[in-house]
Structure 1
């Protein structure tokens, strides 16, 4: 938890869980089990989440872990939402050495250390970072990212979205690379379920075993994606141009019948196009085979004619030689 001496002298009223993270919460009422602390409660909850997942965390289970009745916890935390926020902030504590000499090296180091927190506490990915971090450790994480970008010729208002992009990537990659909830029977059935007709581009990769457990990410995937994000940032810095605002679509567009019908038509057209391309490729292959056969036949005829001519010439030469004798 945050050292109380680190917070400002005057702070506004905060929700209890936030006040705890900032070290400005009132002490719990005195009573039995005075040795119990908010820190111990949060620690127990994190241990449960690390071992069994975030969904396993309940006030009753945490109370049992620290040896008190569930109602006793409410003297320290206001409820499960408050507990989750305290867990989120505590598990987000990260120290970045900052040893890189370039912004890419420093930012890569920052990303690797942030990812380590997600490896240590995989459930963090179930609590995606908000656009406005409000707890000390999440803000410290952003501060460390800004330190990595110090000296980069970009305004802070653009550096912050850059860090949010990277945090989102780290959290999403952590979630997407976890196979904890994948049923082995379903995995084995994928080569049959993912057909060429429905997934023409993905099906060959699935048959080749791209989703097999022995093809798990060997760290190249995360590094590749991170480097490509850095490439984009670097290109943006070189351009030194403001991007055009991207207009947000109304969410109701997902249910619009005309849009859905149009997307269906496009999907059908793509299917027909793929079928036409396959037919064209087959026609080309057949034509190549046919033309090669014609060329081979022509070459054979030419070789046969050349052999006949050579034989005829040899006979004529032999006949002339005999007359000369």
Structure 2
């Protein structure tokens, strides 16, 4: 199928079609007397579908139907679904974080709050694969806002960009994990049966307490707990001088996938589970020993009290 490519306006840089549209430098089709379509309408219709039914529901056919046109009509404005998705991401990323008073931490926290609100308004946005290098204006504006919040910091721009990407990754991943719904009663009961001390020695107690009954990532408390800890870490790093860490640890993927490594790590987990069970058993034995010792002491005190009562009674008789 032959599809039109973007023709940049005179003097404009050569850009991919969707990026050129986002920047407003693409030559768009001329509208005829009855031609009511536009890139803006197409993108808006696609966002409405994604907001209601998820990004997987977006297709050129469904968007065309929503607008009352044929799919072929859309290709005059966007060259395909990939272009459409990029334009949707940029439009949904039109997030304006107002200037905030206070230090860099306060300003970054305000920026993060507004970015998160944008992700909450369009839940599908967090599930879109992030670009290693943002290329569209609204995505770059988010990055620019973060750098503006850090204006007072005397750090290299590379470090500031790394901080911004770290926080954007946290917001995005947090938003994506927050899409889960709470588990039903059957699943809750199943987890309590399946997550045993033997297999998950460190997690079992939390599951029994119901910690995982609701998606933790859906709460404001969980989001800001993580955000504040990230800011704490950045503060400590800055206080140390803001130097890049020298050590970069890499584990070859082949090592992680190696069967012997997997078997060995499984054996370690099983040994840890047995050790944890042995420690719990030792704790129980110790507690029982303490209880026996306390009971013995109590019996001794009772015998001594009775002996003293008898002695006192004899003394009263002699007197």
TM-score surpassing 0.5?
yes
Q: What is the root-mean-square deviation of aligned Cα atoms in Å? A: 2.3
Q: 2:248 aligns with which of 223, 246, 265?
A: 246
Normalising by the residue count of structure 2, what TM-score does the alignment of the two structures yield?
0.90
Matched with 2:315 is: 313
CA distance in 1 between partners of 2:176 and 2:153 (Å):
30
Q: Secondary structure at the match of 1:118?
A: helix
Give, in angstroms, the shift of residue 294 of structure 1: 1.3
CA distance in 1 between partners of 2:316 and 2:26 (Å):
113
Give, in angstroms, the shift of residue 303 of structure 1: 1.1
CA distance in 1 between partners of 2:287 and 2:143 (Å):
57
- Unaligned 5+ residue runs, structure 1? 1-6, 319-325
Aligned length: 311
Q: Secondary structure at the match of 1:275?
A: helix
Superposition map of 1:1-325 within 5 A? 10-28=11-29, 33-180=34-181, 185-187=186-188, 189-213=190-214, 217-240=218-241, 241-316=243-318, 318=319
CA distance in 2 between partners of 1:246 and 1:315 (Å):
88
CA contact (8 A) 1:118 1:174 kept: yes
Deviates most, 209-218 or 123-132 = 209-218
CA distance in 2 between partners of 1:302 and 1:182 (Å):
59
Normalising by the residue count of structure 1, what TM-score does the alignment of the two structures yield?
0.89
Q: Secondary structure at the match of 2:26?
A: coil
Deviations along 1:231-272, one digit per CA (max 9) or x if unpaired, are 000000111133123233222222112321221121111011
Give, in angstroms, the shift of residue 226 of structure 1: 0.6
CA contact (8 A) 2:179 2:218 kept: no
The structure that has the greater radius of gyration is 1
Matched with 1:321 is: none
CA distance in 1 between partners of 2:34 and 2:214 (Å):
47
- Unaligned 5+ residue runs, structure 2? 1-7
